[in-house]
Chain A
Amino acid sequence: MHELGIVLQVVEQAEDVAKQNQVQKVLRLTLEVGEVSGIVPNLFEDCFEWAKKRTEHLKECTLNMVILEALTYCEDCGETYRTVEFAKKCPHCGSYKTYLVTGNEINIKDIEVV
């Protein structure tokens, strides 16, 4: 499954940071997820619950997902618009010469540790 591969990556990176900082355990992980990153939050949470049990420091960790709005920029008219609503076609001038500015990210923002 798509989400599982991403979860394993997130867990591994958080685990590494936990080890580097010699923490006892990670209590909370904040993940920034772009609206059009292709992540399904429910599936992601299920995978996270499965994966965290197999780690050393994240066993009691809760997942805090922050959704980032997706915005697209139009090269022809210079306007920025909501990607989810209008997709590739600029609602201002009808051009397809547009590209995604934000909304594709999956960032580990921070972890709360003791």
Chain B
Amino acid sequence: MDEVKIVEIKEDIVSRNNEQAKQIRAELADQKVFLLNVMSSPGSGKTTLLTALINRLKSRFSIGVIEADIDSAVDAETIAAKTGVKTIQMHTAGACHITCQMSWEALCALGIEGLDMVVLENIGNLVCPAEFDTGADANLVLLSVPEGDDKPIKYPLMFEVADIVAVTKTDVMPVFDFDKERVSANVKRRNDKAPVFFVSAPLGVGIEELADYIGDLVAGKMAKQGKK
């Protein structure tokens, strides 16, 4: 009978993903491309908001989009038709989040040469995507009014990893028990660094401010990396 041995591993299960995230960041710095990772629950308006943001930013920057879903190409078709920017659809084969391996493959498939910014629309989910770093420069987290202003308390990690929070569908606020100050306080409790924007894509409310804020981050990275 063979002797039983213990092999010590002591490895965090996200440690590999974090290593790959570093490699992606190095490559993106080298290519001077800004990666924005967009996360929220399903149906909170990621695609609609992105369409509005991209249409404001596309004259300033060369933009590419990666749409991630479990199935279908609905989002990629919508974004491509409404913005005209280079878009690809990735399928996660059932997985509820994007790992660095997936974001790297998608970036290669999209082709980042000549781009200033890539927008990665993550799987609609407030839990798992927060745990897996995608190698992005910034995480934009959406929270739509119908979901309720208590979400930052219920899904702490998602709001802790956010760099920017956008409250969407503010046009329906009068019919929901949703309080602007309460949501801001709930976000602040989790994360006192992320600014909170209140937007309505169909009405065009707050889009300019949010687009400018993101545009400044992209321009900041380009300037830092010496890109004109």
- Asked if B13 contacts A110 (CB within 8 A), the reply is no
Contacts of B5 in A (CB 8 A): 23, 112-114
Contacts of B2 in A (CB 8 A): 24, 114
Chain B binding surface SS class? mixed
State in angstroms the CA–CA spacing of A95 and B17 once bound together.
33
Is B219 on the interface with A (CB-CB < 8 A)? no
Contacts of B223 in A (CB 8 A): none
Nearest CB of chain B from residue A43's CB, rounded to whole Å: 13
- Asked if A17 contacts B127 (CB within 8 A), the reply is no
State in angstroms the CA–CA spacing of A5 and B95 once bound together.
6
State in angstroms the CA–CA spacing of A1 and B3 once bound together.
37
- Asked if A107 contacts B97 (CB within 8 A), the reply is no
Contacts of A14 in B (CB 8 A): 9
- Which of A38, A96, A107, A111 makes the CB contact (< 8 A) with B127? A38
- Asked if B4 contacts A112 (CB within 8 A), the reply is yes
Is A51 on the interface with B (CB-CB < 8 A)? no
- Asked if B128 contacts A5 (CB within 8 A), the reply is yes
Is A27 on the interface with B (CB-CB < 8 A)? yes
State in angstroms the CA–CA spacing of A38 and B97 once bound together.
15
- Asked if A110 contacts B6 (CB within 8 A), the reply is yes
Is A105 on the interface with B (CB-CB < 8 A)? yes
Chain A binding surface SS class? mixed
- Asked if A110 contacts B7 (CB within 8 A), the reply is yes
Contacts of A113 in B (CB 8 A): 4-7
**Whose C-beta in chain B lies nearest to the C-beta of A6?**
B13
Is A13 on the interface with B (CB-CB < 8 A)? yes
State in angstroms the CA–CA spacing of A38 and B158 once bound together.
12
Contacts of B6 in A (CB 8 A): 110-113
- Interface flags, A1-35, vs B, CB<8A=1, else 0: 11001100110011001100101100100000000
Is A88 on the interface with B (CB-CB < 8 A)? yes
- Asked if A114 contacts B3 (CB within 8 A), the reply is yes
Knowing A2-B127, A2-B128 touch, does A106 contact B7 (C-beta < 8 A)?
no
State in angstroms the CA–CA spacing of A106 and B189 once bound together.
25
- Asked if B97 contacts A13 (CB within 8 A), the reply is no
The 7 closest A-B pairs by CB, nearest first: A114-B2, A108-B9, A106-B13, A110-B8, A9-B13, A111-B7, A96-B189
A-B contact pairs, 7 of them (CB 8 A): A6-B13, A13-B13, A88-B190, A105-B12, A109-B9, A113-B6, A114-B2
18 further contact pairs, Cβ within 8 A, besides A18-B7, A96-B189, A112-B4: A5-B96, A9-B13, A9-B17, A13-B9, A14-B9, A23-B5, A24-B2, A88-B156, A106-B12, A107-B10, A107-B12, A110-B7, A110-B9, A111-B7, A111-B9, A112-B5, A113-B4, A114-B4
